């Protein structure tokens, strides 16, 4: 595994965030995954050296968490939520269509190394069901057609925008973001989309008052 | 009269910069901080106690009371850990909050740390939501630059560091002691309690673990006071709440309302049921609480009323299902989830979720044995109360809850598959109006 100076600086910065060094383990696993596309034996050894742990200790943690991949991951990772609500609202249909189109199953990667697909659990996007993620960025209210279109665009190298976030980069770039938590993209996407705003919109349509005024509290309780 | 919606945390989410420090400060953001820093830390704890604010992560434990359990003058470092691991099926209110209004959390963290005498806080965000992580990490950086975080904050002598930490995909890390183990760089497995985190938490030091929404309430409480807060909700369930309403309603989304609003009102605000749709069942607070039916639509959404109805308010993130949905399939899929997410530490949960899932799948496929329904129920009783943590209790919840109202559907699973009984396309968003 090639570790360049930038990555070494990032390792030091991540470890310095914590009062006890072992706390840096999860972020460092994201970091090595961003370098190699998966958590390899080399990656495990590297992290173990940085934190003065044994490779076995690091491996026992790496194998516990589903986001750490132990085999090659495609340039793009596509997740389809098939937990009950999303499955019923269309996630099962989206999953089948995606799996058929790419000719691969759960946790598999296309032969050209472009796509890995995964049946994922609840993404905290139930209001946007069925929820799909592209390199873990939200791709809300998915349909078989919308996912198929994204695949074609990514293959053609055309930009694909997350429904609530930045333009899709690739799986490794997201892993890097998770490790360092800063990638300059926080300003991308809306503050909130129409579903996040559903309550505020309904309140405004009905002329209900905003309640967080910095002025002295009103005593007009409704309850 | 209908209970009105009360946009507070969500009041300015339609500002294009609501997630920035400028957007937050424009509407009184960071005004609570100097006010809190001018108070004695114990007075801040006392004030939060007086509001009766209860934890918004699902358990509903009184927040001020939790803070007061942290021993003072013990010579140990204290920690605040914010649980932003939102992964409960149905819950989607913390991630929107982090994306649209992360500074409310950051200001709340600073005030909370001042109150419990912590100089280090961690925000543990599930890893699968990079945009929420970006937004809250950017908010923390802005707060440092503005001098709200760092050393000698606004000349108060109070020092604080805040770290945003990414998880890596494990529902169990929403359990507070598993979260702490994960934050220490270990497998996310729950600890035996006692000792509770308030005494021996992160790095064996006194630690408060609170949910994102809970801490985000704090600046608004400090700014507006106890009476203002208590004008919302009920005596035992004071305040307002983010309700994420999902499923077969016309406008799924985040609705902020006082505790005590009814599900009927929430569905009404969400535009009613979709075209041609009739409510079959709903779940008030995530898959880990028992389901309810149309007869419960007029109950107040409070901790106490939901408990009386045999369920729980949980995360107050209702999922709504109509007549196109197979209860058997829904429950089976939830059990597959609990089986997948069981950490494997204790036998009842590890083995029980596996056995239940296997048996439920036979009913979904239409070749269940009726006598197995009793066995599944027995397994639930062997898991509930006998597991290491609440994940086991949660796994034992959906099946008995569903049997209470829909036993016939499980019995039908002895001869008819879920997909034959319920056309799986009819429940999808694309199907729109039901065909059944």
* Mean pLDDT, residues B398-418 taken together: 97
What pLDDT score does B432 carry? 62
Three-class SS state of B53: coil
Beta-ladder partners of B171:
none
DSSP code of A209?
A: P
In this structure, is residue A208 part of a structural domain?
Answer: no
Residue of A nearest to B125 (CA): A178
Instruction: Report CB contact under 8 Å: B90, A85.
Output: yes
Q: Does B228 touch chain A (CB under 8 A)?
A: yes
* Mean pLDDT, residues A98-106 taken together: 98
Beta-ladder partners of B207:
B79
**B202 has a pLDDT exceeding 60:** yes
Residue where one domain finishes, among candidates A124, A139, A170: A170
Task: Calculate the alpha carbon distances from B366 to A70, B321, B376, B410, B428 in Å.
Answer: 36, 21, 16, 9, 21
Alpha carbons B266 and A62: distance in angstroms, whole number: 42
Buried b or exposed e, range B68-77, using 16+ CB within 10 angstroms: bebeeeeeee
Q: Does B34 touch chain A (CB under 8 A)?
A: no
Tell me what ipTM this predicted complex has: 0.96
Assess whether A124 and A97 both reside in one domain: yes
pLDDT tens for A28-52 read 999 999 999 999 999 999 999 999 9
The alpha-carbon gap from B65 to the nearest alpha carbon of chain A, in Å, equals 25
pLDDT tens for B328-347 read 999 999 999 999 999 999 99
* Mean pLDDT, residues A80-87 taken together: 98
Chain B residues lying within 8 Å of A25, measured CB to CB: 185-186
What pLDDT score does A80 carry? 98
Tokens, residue B344:
């494997």
Three-class SS state of B392: helix
Contact B389, B177 (CB under 8 A): yes
Assess whether A98 and A46 both reside in one domain: no
Instruction: Report CB contact under 8 Å: A20, B184.
Output: yes
3-class DSSP string for B241-261: EEEEEEECECCCEEEEEECCC
The alpha-carbon gap from A122 to the nearest alpha carbon of chain B, in Å, equals 5
Chain A residues lying within 8 Å of B428, measured CB to CB: 88-90, 93, 130
User: Domain containing A11 — which CATH number?
Assistant: 1.10.10.1590
In this structure, is residue A88 part of a structural domain?
Answer: yes
Entry pTM: 0.96
What pLDDT score does B2 carry? 82
Instruction: Report CB contact under 8 Å: A196, B13.
Output: yes
Contact A97, A148 (CB under 8 A): yes
pLDDT tens for B264-278 read 999 999 999 999 999
Higher pLDDT, A215 or B221: B221
The mean pLDDT value of chain A amounts to: 94
**B436 has a pLDDT exceeding 60:** no
Assess whether A81 and A163 both reside in one domain: yes
- DSSP per-residue codes, A87-148: IIIIIHHHHHHHHHHHT--TTEE-TTSSEEEEEE---S-GGGPSPEEETTEEE-S--HHHHH
What pLDDT score does A222 carry? 37
Buried b or exposed e, range B134-163, using 16+ CB within 10 angstroms: bbbbbbbbbbeeeebbbeebbeeebebbbb
Q: What percent of chain A has pLDDT over 70?
A: 94
Assess whether A155 and A86 both reside in one domain: yes
Alpha carbons B367 and A61: distance in angstroms, whole number: 39
Task: Calculate the alpha carbon distances from B409 to A218, B246, B356 in Å.
Answer: 51, 23, 17
**A144 has a pLDDT exceeding 70:** yes
Chain A and chain B share a number of CB contacts under 8 A equal to: 318
Assess whether A100 and A159 both reside in one domain: yes
The closest CB to that of A23, out of B183, B246, B343, belongs to: B183
Assess whether A87 and A152 both reside in one domain: yes
Per-residue confidence band for A101, with pLDDT thresholds at 50, 70 and 90? very high
Assess whether A104 and A143 both reside in one domain: yes
Assess whether A42 and A88 both reside in one domain: no
pLDDT tens for B353-374 read 999 999 999 999 999 999 999 9
Assess whether A150 and A83 both reside in one domain: yes
* Mean pLDDT, residues B280-288 taken together: 96
Alpha carbons A136 and A138: distance in angstroms, whole number: 6
In this structure, is residue A201 part of a structural domain?
Answer: no
Q: How far is CA B128 from the centre of its chain?
A: 16
**A221 has a pLDDT exceeding 70:** no
- Give burial (CB, 10 Å; 0-12/13-18/19+) of B48: buried
Chain A residues lying within 8 Å of B86, measured CB to CB: 124
In this structure, is residue A176 part of a structural domain?
Answer: no
Contact B342, B387 (CB under 8 A): no
Q: What is the dihedral of CA B296, B301, B305, B308, to 10 degrees?
A: 50
Tokens, residue A169:
């980069």
Assess whether A134 and A104 both reside in one domain: yes
Q: Does B131 touch chain A (CB under 8 A)?
A: yes
* Mean pLDDT, residues B412-431 taken together: 96
Tokens, residue B213:
């929404």
Contact A10, A179 (CB under 8 A): yes
Per-residue confidence band for A1, with pLDDT thresholds at 50, 70 and 90? confident
**B125 has a pLDDT exceeding 80:** yes
Assess whether A105 and A82 both reside in one domain: yes
Q: Which of B237, B222, B224, B240 is nearest to B7 (CA)?
A: B240
The parent domain of residue A31 ranges over 5-62
User: Domain containing A133 — which CATH number?
Assistant: 3.40.30.10
Contact B219, B29 (CB under 8 A): yes
- DSSP per-residue codes, B116-160: HT-SEEEEEE-TT-HHHHHHHHHHHHHHHHTTSSBSSGGGSS--B
**B254 has a pLDDT exceeding 80:** yes
In this structure, is residue A190 part of a structural domain?
Answer: no
What pLDDT score does B420 carry? 98
Assess whether A86 and A150 both reside in one domain: yes
Per-residue confidence band for A218, with pLDDT thresholds at 50, 70 and 90? very low
In this structure, is residue A188 part of a structural domain?
Answer: no
* Mean pLDDT, residues B69-94 taken together: 96
Higher pLDDT, A213 or B193: B193
In this structure, is residue A94 part of a structural domain?
Answer: yes
What pLDDT score does B416 carry? 98
Residue where one domain finishes, among candidates A146, A170, A194: A170
Per-residue confidence band for A209, with pLDDT thresholds at 50, 70 and 90? confident
**B396 has a pLDDT exceeding 60:** yes
The closest CB to that of B231, out of A188, A198, A223, belongs to: A223
Task: Calculate the alpha carbon distances from B123 to A27, B132, B162, B399 in Å.
Answer: 13, 11, 8, 34
In this structure, is residue A218 part of a structural domain?
Answer: no
Largest CA distance in chain B: 73
Instruction: Report CB contact under 8 Å: B91, A68.
Output: no
What pLDDT score does B431 carry? 85
Looking at the 3D structure of chain A, how many domains does it have? 2
């Amino acid at each position: 595994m090639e570790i360049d100076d930038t990555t070494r600086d990032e390792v030091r910065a991540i470890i310095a965030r914590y009062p006890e060094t072992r706390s840096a383990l999860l972020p460092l696993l994201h970091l090595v995954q961003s370098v190699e596309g998966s958590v390899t034996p080399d990656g495990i050894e590297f992290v173990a050296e940085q934190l003065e742990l044994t490779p076995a200790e690091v491996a026992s943690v790496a194998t516990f968490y589903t986001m750490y991949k132990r085999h090659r991951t495609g340039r793009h990772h596509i997740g389809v939520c098939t937990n009950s609500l999303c499955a019923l609202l269309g996630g099962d249909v989206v999953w089948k269509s995606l799996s058929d189109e790419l000719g691969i199953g759960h946790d598999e990667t296309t032969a050209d190394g472009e796509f890995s697909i995964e049946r994922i659990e609840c993404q905290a996007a139930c209001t946007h069901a069925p929820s799909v993620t592209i390199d873990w960025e939200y791709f809300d209210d998915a349909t078989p057609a919308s996912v198929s279109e994204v695949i074609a665009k990514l293959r053609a190298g055309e930009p694909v925008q997350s429904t609530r976030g930045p333009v899709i980069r690739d799986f490794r770039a997201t892993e890097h973001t998770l490790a360092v938590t800063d990638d300059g993209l926080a300003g991308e996407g809306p503050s909130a989309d129409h579903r996040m705003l559903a309550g505020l919109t309904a309140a405004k349509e009905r002329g209900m008052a905003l309640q967080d005024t910095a002025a002295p509290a009103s005593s007009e309780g409704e309850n | 009269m209908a209970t009105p919606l009360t946009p507070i945390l969500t009041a300015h989410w339609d500002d294009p910069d609501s997630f920035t420090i400028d957007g937050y400060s424009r509407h009184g953001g960071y005004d609570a901080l100097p006010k809190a820093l001018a108070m004695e830390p114990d007075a801040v704890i006392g004030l939060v106690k007086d509001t009766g604010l209860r934890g918004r992560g699902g358990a509903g434990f009184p927040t001020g009371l939790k803070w007061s359990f942290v021993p003072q003058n013990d010579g140990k470092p204290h920690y605040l850990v914010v649980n932003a691991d939102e992964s409960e099926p149905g819950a989607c209110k913390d991630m929107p909050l982090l994306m649209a209004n992360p500074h409310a959390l950051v200001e709340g963290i600073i005030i909370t740390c001042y109150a419990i005498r912590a100089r280090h806080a961690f925000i543990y965000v599930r890893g699968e939501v990079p945009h929420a992580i970006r937004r809250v990490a950017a908010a923390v950086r802005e707060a440092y630059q503005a001098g709200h975080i760092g050393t000698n904050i606004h000349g108060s002598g109070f020092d604080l560091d805040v770290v945003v930490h990414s998880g890596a995909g494990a529902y169990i890390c929403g359990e507070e002691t598993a979260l702490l183990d994960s934050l220490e760089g270990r497998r996310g497995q729950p600890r035996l309690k006692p000792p509770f985190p308030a005494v021996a938490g992160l790095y064996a030091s006194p630690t408060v673990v609170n949910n994102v929404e809970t801490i985000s309430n704090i600046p608004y409480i400090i700014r507006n006071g106890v009476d203002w807060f208590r004008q919302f909700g009920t005596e035992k369930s004071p305040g307002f709440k983010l309700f994420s309403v999902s499923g077969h309603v016309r406008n799924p989304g985040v609705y902020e309302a006082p505790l005590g609003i009814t599900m009927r009102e929430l569905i009404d605000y969400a535009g009613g049921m979709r075209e041609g749709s009739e409510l079959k069942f709903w779940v008030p607070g995530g898959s880990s609480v028992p389901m309810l039916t149309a007869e419960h639509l007029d109950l107040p959404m409070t901790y106490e009323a939901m408990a009386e109805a045999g369920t729980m308010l949980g995360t107050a993130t209702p999922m709504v299902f109509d007549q196109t949905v197979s209860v058997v399939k829904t429950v089976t899929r939830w059990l597959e989830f609990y089986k997948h997410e069981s950490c494997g530490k204790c036998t009842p949960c590890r083995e029980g979720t596996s056995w239940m899932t296997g048996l439920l799948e036979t009913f979904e496929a239409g070749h269940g044995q009726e006598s197995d329904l009793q066995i599944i129920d027995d397994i639930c009783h062997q898991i509930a109360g006998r597991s290491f943590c609440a994940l086991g209790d949660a796994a034992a919840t959906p099946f008995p809850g569903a049997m209470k109202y829909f036993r016939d559907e499980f019995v039908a699973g002895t001869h008819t598959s879920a997909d034959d009984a319920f056309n799986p396309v009819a429940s999808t968003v694309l199907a729109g109006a039901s065909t059944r």
